[in-house]
Every structure is written in structure tokens, then in C-alpha cells.
Amino acid sequence: MRKPCCDKQDTNKGAWSKQEDQKLIDYIRIHGEGCWRSVPQAAGLLRCGKSCRLRWINYLRPDLKRGNFAEDEEDLIIKLHALLGNRWSLIAGRLPGRTDNEVKNYWNSHLRRKLIKMGIDPSNHRLNQKLPRTLILSGSDTSSGSKTQVACQPCKPKKSQGDNDQVSDAGSCLEDGACTLPDLNLDLAMSIPPPSIPVVEERQQCIDSNITGELEISTAPSSTLLLFR
DNA sequence: AAGCAGACCAACCGCAACATC
DNA sequence: AGATGTTGCGGTTGGTCTGCT
């Protein structure tokens, strides 16, 4: 029987105090990320490694953007969700400074409702009946630049992170007879990742590269475009 | 001002993938 | 090859905030 990730009796739970945050920040500043299991003890924290990792990734990391989502970020989330389903980490990976948790929360609290209001089923990005077949998604107003016409079955989230997942998921969208492919125009504009690509990012790119069966990732001077093939 | 409901968000939990022995 | 340990992900929960009555 596997041991639990931490001895629950000896660990704090709930909200983090400022002192705890500072300890974690100080520790990671000196030792860097990695080996989360040993972090709590080494940093003098009564937390489990998992909790430390989450706190760092979702809240303490210096490169986090925080604050409201911009309209183009909203657009991007909607587009990526239509494409990838609830793969929050993948989606967040395309939004610099945003975390999967943040994206997930934002989706659940804002975007889902927004889509519903627009007559779109957020679970599959299909238009509900009685509405025009092609609807332009462009944030809260129709004047914003990017446009998406999504009428495709979303990719059902899968637990497995297997290399073929993304391909099969995206592919399932494409292969779904109900999809109206001609309507697809996913011009997903992204910002280029920072010059020094962290390990996680690097791994993400490996994953992304597996999608290229269906998607082409091209880089323009100021943006990266994901295009359906 | 008090009570309530809904929205928001940080954090936890369980599971699966991956790594190591 | 199988068991065990670690990490990462997505779903969910629960506390806090905010607006309304």
C-alpha cells in the first residue's frame, strides 16, 4: 500500500500565512523548483509537498500576471477550450502568466456563463437551436478583432496525458461527422514564450508538437498561430 | 443594519502518468 | 516486469466577498 503524500496529522491545511509564503519563496529562490516532496521539510514548512507546489505555481511564482483577463485572453481561452476541452494546463500554457487553476476558475465563473448567454453550449461549443449557425465569438463585444466560428464537438477531457491524446482528440473533432468544418477558422494568436524556456514549457512544447498532425504551429514575429490542417 | 444568495477563488482530493528501484 | 515513489492534472469544495432585498 502506498504511503499518502504527506502525514496528514503533521501538516497544516487551509489558507497560507504570509510567513509560510515567505518561507517557500525564500527556499525556492535559493534552491529552485523541484523535488517538492522534500521542500516542506527543507523550507521548514508544515505542509505537504503537493500543497507547496500548488501554492508556488498558482500564487507565488514571480511571473504570474494576476488581475482581470483581457478580452484577447478570453477569446483565446474560448478557442482553445473548443479545441482541447478541459485541458486547463494546456490552455494555460498558451496564456503567459496564467495558471491552469486560474483559467479553470475563470472559465467556470465567467466564460461558461458568457457562452450560455450567447446561446452556445459551453460543454461542446455548439450553438443551441434557433440561433444562427455561425456565430462570431469575440469577447463581450463584437468589435474585437479576432473571430472564431466554432461548431465542432469539443475534445473530451481525458485523464491520460499520452502523446496521442491531443491528436486523437483534435482528430475526433475533425472526424466528427456533425462538425461543420468549413466554419472553422481558428486563428489563435499567441504571444511568444519568453526566451529562456523553462523545463515545463519545454515539455509542453513536446506535447504540443504531437498535435501537429492536426495543427500547424507557426511562429510569426509577434505571435504564434495555431492553424487547422 | 442584517440576512441571504450568488460569485469568486484558493486550496484540497483523487487519480493517472511518469520515474525509479 | 512489477512495485513503489513523485509529480502533475482536473474536478470539487469551502471560505470569503459582494450585491441585493
* Rg, C-alpha atoms of chain A: 20
How does pLDDT run along chain A (229 residues), one tens digit per residue? 334 445 555 678 888 998 999 999 999 988 888 789 889 888 988 898 999 999 999 999 888 888 889 888 999 999 999 888 889 999 999 998 999 999 999 999 899 888 888 888 888 888 776 544 444 444 333 333 334 444 444 443 433 333 333 333 333 343 343 343 334 344 444 444 444 333 334 334 433 444 333 444 333 333 333 333 3
Query: Is the CB atom of residue A106 positioned under 7 angstroms from any atom of strand C?
Result: no
* Chain A residues 141-170 within 7 Å (CB) of strand C: 157, 159, 161
Query: Is the CB atom of residue A7 positioned under 7 angstroms from any atom of strand B?
Result: no
Check residue A222 and give its pLDDT: 34
Residues 6 or more apart in contact with residue A172 via CB below 8 angstroms: A153, A155, A156
Query: Is the CB atom of residue A198 positioned under 7 angstroms from any atom of strand C?
Result: no
Helix (H, G, I), strand (E, B) or coil at A207: helix
Q: Is residue A114 a contact partner of residue A140, using CB atoms and an 8 Å limit?
A: yes
For the domain made up of A8-60, give the CATH fold. Arc Repressor Mutant, subunit A (1.10.10)
Check residue A114 and give its pLDDT: 85
Chain B bases near protein Cβ (<7 Å):
7-18
Residue showing cell 512544447: A205
Query: Is the CB atom of residue A23 positioned under 7 angstroms from any atom of strand C?
Result: no
Check residue A178 and give its pLDDT: 38
Q: What is the DSSP string of A127-156?
A: EPTTS-SS--BBTBSTTSS--B---SPPPP
Check residue A104 and give its pLDDT: 92
Q: φ, ψ for residue A3 (rounded to 5)?
A: -75, 150
Distance A171 CA to C5 C1' (A): 35
Residue with CA nearest B9 C1'? Answer: A105
Chain C bases near protein Cβ (<7 Å):
4-12, 15
Nearest of A22, A28, A97 to residue A63 by alpha carbon = A97
Distance A127 CA to B21 C1' (A): 52
Residue with CA nearest C13 C1'? Answer: A14
Residue showing cell 469575440: A138
Distance A10 CA to B13 C1' (A): 17
Residue-range domain boundaries for chain A: 8-60, 71-228
Check residue A51 and give its pLDDT: 92
